[in-house]
Chains A and B, each alone.
Chain A
C-alpha cells in the first residue's frame, strides 16, 4: 500500500459531510496502513503518549513503546517533564526496561554509558581502553540522549517525534481556548481510583470516532438517558479536535455530598460538560468537579489500549478519605460508560472485513464531528 493507491479513496472523504464517504476499510484492517499512519500522522504531528502522572516524582522514568518507537518519559530533578529516545547512543541498546526512579544517572546495561536526567552523556567507562574513560572519537556534547519535542497540557503529554511539526503552543491553542475555564487550573490526581485501562480489539480511529459524537448515546449508554438525553447534547468542530458536550451534567455520585468544584468557574459549567476528541489519539473530559483524559495507545491495526486518568479540583477532593467513596463511584461509572462502547468499536472493526463496505456515510446533523476527524486523517495521508 502507498499513498497514491489510497488517494482516490481519501478524496471521497473530503468535501461537505453530506455526500462524503468514510475512510476506507483498508485503513482499519492492514498492518501496511498502520505503518503509514505511524509515519504520516503519529511521527510528523503531535500525539499523546501518556500523562505527567505516569512520572509523578522527580527522577521517575517510564519506558514507552510508541507504535514501535522506544521512548523514555521522565521527570527530571527540577520537576520538568522530558521525553528522550530510550536508546543508548553507543549501540542502540534499550536503556530503561521498566518504570523506576533514578536518584543518579541512567546507566546503559550494556557497556555502562551513563546519562544524566537532562540527557547529557555523563560517563563512557573504558571507552578509551581499560580504565580510560574518554576518547577523542566520542564527543559527549554531541552524544547525549536524543530529545523528543514534548508539550504538556492539563497533564497530558504530547510528543512530536519528527521534530518538525508546528510549535506546541500553536498546536494546543484551539483546545486551550475551548477549555480555557479549566486549562490553567491546578489538577489533583486521585490518590485512589486513579483511573483504568481498557484493552480493545479495534483500530484506534474507531475509538476516537465513537467518542466524537453523541448520536450513539441513547442506544449504547441507556444509563445516561435518565439524566443526559440526546437533545441535551451539542457537538463542536474546531481545528485539531471535535466532540460533544452536554447541558445537563449531574452525575449524583452520592445522595448527600458532592465533590468540590474547580474554583471560579463560569455558571455555564454548573450543568455542562464537554468531551473534545483531540486528534489523533486523546480525549479530554471536563466537568465542574473533575477532569479525565483518555489516551489511545495504538498497539496494532486491530488493537488499542485506552488508558484513562482522573483528576479532581482540590487536594482534599483527590486525597481525603471523606471523598474516597465518590472517587471510587466516579471511576466506576466512567469505566462502565467507556466499557459499554467496546462492543461497538469491536463490532465496527469486524465490520471492516465486509468486502462491499465503502466507508459508510454521515448524517450532517449527527455525524459531523466524526466526519471532521475522517477528513483530518485523509488530509494527513495525502487525500
Chain B
C-alpha cells in the first residue's frame, strides 16, 4: 500500500471500522500510523492495534514482528 498521510490513514481506518475481513489492511494502516506518530505513546498505541488486527488475520509472521516491537517498547 502506498504511503498515506495521517488524514488519509484516519479516513481509511474509519471506513474499515468493524470490518474484520479487512484485518490485514487494518493492521497495515495502524503500522503506518505508528511510523508517523511523533509521540512514543501514540507509536505504541498504533503498534498495539496493528498487533491485534494481525492476530485477527492470523498472520503469524507479522504477529511475531509486532510482538517483538511491543516487547522492545515495554508494551508486552
Binding site for B on A (CB under 8 A): 102-105, 107, 109, 112, 114, 122-123, 125-126, 130-134
**A134 is contacted by which of B52, B59, B76 (Cβ under 8 Å)?**
B76
- New A-B contacts (16) at CB < 8 Å, excluding given A107-B20, A130-B45: A103-B56, A103-B57, A104-B57, A104-B58, A104-B59, A105-B55, A105-B56, A123-B51, A123-B55, A125-B51, A126-B45, A130-B41, A130-B44, A131-B47, A132-B44, A133-B75
Scan residues 31-49 of chain B and give those whose CB is less than 8 A from a CB of chain A: 41, 43-45, 47-49
Chain B interface, >50% SS class: helix
The number of chain B residues touching the other chain, given as a range, is: 20 to 34
The answer, yes or no, to whether B22 is at the interface (CB within 8 Å) is: no
Chain B residues in 8 Å Cβ range of A109:
18
* Chain B: CB-nearest residue to A115: B55
What is the minimal beta-carbon distance from A157 to any residue of chain B, in angstroms?
Answer: 25
Chain A residues in 8 Å Cβ range of B49:
125
What is the minimal beta-carbon distance from A205 to any residue of chain B, in angstroms?
Answer: 40
Chain B residues in 8 Å Cβ range of A123:
51-52, 55
Bound Cα distance A312, B9 (Å): 52
Chain A residues in 8 Å Cβ range of B56:
103-105, 107, 114
* Chain B: CB-nearest residue to A131: B44
* Chain B: CB-nearest residue to A104: B58
The answer, yes or no, to whether B70 is at the interface (CB within 8 Å) is: yes
* Chain A: CB-nearest residue to B40: A131
Bound Cα distance A131, B76 (Å): 9
The answer, yes or no, to whether B73 is at the interface (CB within 8 Å) is: yes
Chain A residues in 8 Å Cβ range of B29:
none
A104/B76 in contact, CB under 8 A = no
What is the minimal beta-carbon distance from B70 to any residue of chain A, in angstroms?
Answer: 6
Bound Cα distance A133, B59 (Å): 19
B70/A133 in contact, CB under 8 A = yes
Bound Cα distance A276, B72 (Å): 61
B55/A126 in contact, CB under 8 A = no
What is the minimal beta-carbon distance from A226 to any residue of chain B, in angstroms?
Answer: 52
Bound Cα distance A105, B48 (Å): 15
Knowing A131-B73, A132-B75, A133-B76 are in contact, say whether A122-B48 is a contact too (CB < 8 A). Answer: no
**A131 is contacted by which of B18, B23, B58, B75 (Cβ under 8 Å)?**
B75
Chain A residues in 8 Å Cβ range of B75:
131-133
Bound Cα distance A122, B63 (Å): 11
Chain B residues in 8 Å Cβ range of A107:
20, 52, 55-56
Chain B residues in 8 Å Cβ range of A112:
52
What is the minimal beta-carbon distance from A113 to any residue of chain B, in angstroms?
Answer: 9
Bound Cα distance A107, B52 (Å): 8
Which of A112, A123, A125, A133 has the largest count of B CB atoms less than 10 A from its CB? Answer: A133
Bound Cα distance A258, B42 (Å): 68
Scan residues 53-74 of chain B and give those whose CB is less than 8 A from a CB of chain A: 54-59, 70, 73-74
Bound Cα distance A317, B47 (Å): 51
A131/B55 in contact, CB under 8 A = no
B45/A131 in contact, CB under 8 A = yes
Chain B residues in 8 Å Cβ range of A104:
23, 54-59
Chain A residues in 8 Å Cβ range of B74:
132
Scan residues 2-25 of chain B and give those whose CB is less than 8 A from a CB of chain A: 18, 20, 23
A114/B57 in contact, CB under 8 A = no
Chain B residues in 8 Å Cβ range of A114:
52, 55-56
Chain B residues in 8 Å Cβ range of A105:
55-56, 58
* Chain A: CB-nearest residue to B18: A109
Chain B residues in 8 Å Cβ range of A102:
58
What is the minimal beta-carbon distance from B65 to any residue of chain A, in angstroms?
Answer: 15
Bound Cα distance A369, B59 (Å): 54
B48/A125 in contact, CB under 8 A = yes
Chain A residues in 8 Å Cβ range of B47:
131
Chain A residues in 8 Å Cβ range of B45:
126, 130-131
**A103 is contacted by which of B43, B44, B58, B76 (Cβ under 8 Å)?**
B58
Bound Cα distance A103, B56 (Å): 7
27 contacts between A and B (CB under 8 A): A102-B58, A103-B56, A103-B58, A104-B54, A104-B58, A105-B56, A105-B58, A107-B52, A107-B55, A107-B56, A109-B18, A112-B52, A114-B55, A114-B56, A122-B55, A123-B51, A123-B55, A125-B48, A125-B51, A125-B52, A126-B45, A130-B44, A131-B41, A131-B47, A132-B44, A133-B51, A133-B70
